[in-house]
Structure 1
Amino acid sequence: MCADLWSFALSTYARPGVEAACLRLQEQGADVCLLLCGAWLEQRGVALEPRRLLALQQLARPWRVDVIEPLRQVRVQWRAMAQQDEQLAALRERIKALELDAERELLVRLEALAQGWPTGMKGQQQWMEGLAAEDAANLDHDALQLLRVVATGT
């Protein structure tokens, strides 16, 4: 079990099938950083409470909208052109690194918010569904379940 959220996210993302599942969920509008945080909270046995869900969502939404998504949009917009332009490809890689840095910062902030919440609760807490609630109708539930199984072993 990874103690910090960033290490947990990296370890989980590197497992077979997780990257593809996360990309599908992201394309469907899910905040993958929030989902990984939810999987981390489930693994740690943190009790799900509505006020905690709301606090995580309120922290993540502005950072995702104002910081991560603009970087992602530029990176995606440059994809085709970068295949023909070496200098643009190099700039695109820098944008990609900034996007990853922004995601890491969000995970650090989410972890800081959740750090004092008691751990060790028994039973399934369903954090990921709670954190994905606003996007739930559009999400690939098989991808969400794969993320849970790989991340939490349940």
Structure 2
Amino acid sequence: MCADLWSFALSTYARTGAEDACLRLQEQGADVCLLLCGLWLEERGVALEPGRVQALRAIAGPWQADVVEPLRRVRKQWRAMAQQDVGLGALRERVKALELEAEQQLLLRLEALAQAWPTGERATHPTWLEGLATEAANLDHDALLQLRAAATGT
């Protein structure tokens, strides 16, 4: 078990199928940082409570909208042009690194909030992953299952 959320996210993302699942969910409007946080909370045995979900969303929503998404838009916008322009390609890689750093900062903020929540509680339904996935309508449930499998190593 990873003690910190950033290590958990990196470890999960590196597992077979996780990257594909995360990208599919992201394209459908899901906040992958929130989903990874939810899986981490499940692993730690933190009980799902509506107030906790709201608190996580209150941090993640503005950060995604104001910090991560603008960087992601620029990175995607430059994709085709960067293939033809080496200088722009280098700038795009720097934007990509900033986007990743912004996601790391979000995960650190989510972890700081969740640190005070008791661990080792019994899991009840719905789980964190499903509870946080409701933010985006019509999510690919196969991708959610794939992400859960990657996180649990099954």
What is aligned with 1:141? 141
Q: How does 1:86-125 map to 2 (within 5 A)?
A: 86-124=86-124
Give me the identity figure in percent: 75
Q: Which runs of 4+ in 1 moved over 6 A?
A: none
**Alpha-carbon distance, 1:133 to partner:** 1.1
Q: What is the SS of the residue equivalent to 2:2?
A: coil
Q: Which runs of 5+ in 2 are unaligned?
A: none
Q: Normalised by the size of structure 1, how large is the TM-score?
A: 0.96
CA distance in 2, matches of 1:134, 1:40: 18
Query: Does 1:23 find its partner at 2:27?
Result: no
- Deviation track 1:36-57 (CA, whole Å, cap 9, x = no partner) reads 0000001111000000000000
Q: What is the SS of the residue equivalent to 1:123?
A: coil
Cα-Cα RMSD: 1.1
Q: What is the SS of the residue equivalent to 1:139?
A: coil
What is aligned with 1:131? 132
CA distance in 2, matches of 1:53, 1:64: 16
Q: How many residues were matched structurally?
A: 153
- Counterpart residue type for residue 147 of structure 2: L
**Alpha-carbon distance, 1:122 to partner:** 2.5
CA distance in 2, matches of 1:134, 1:112: 22
Q: Normalised by the size of structure 2, how large is the TM-score?
A: 0.96
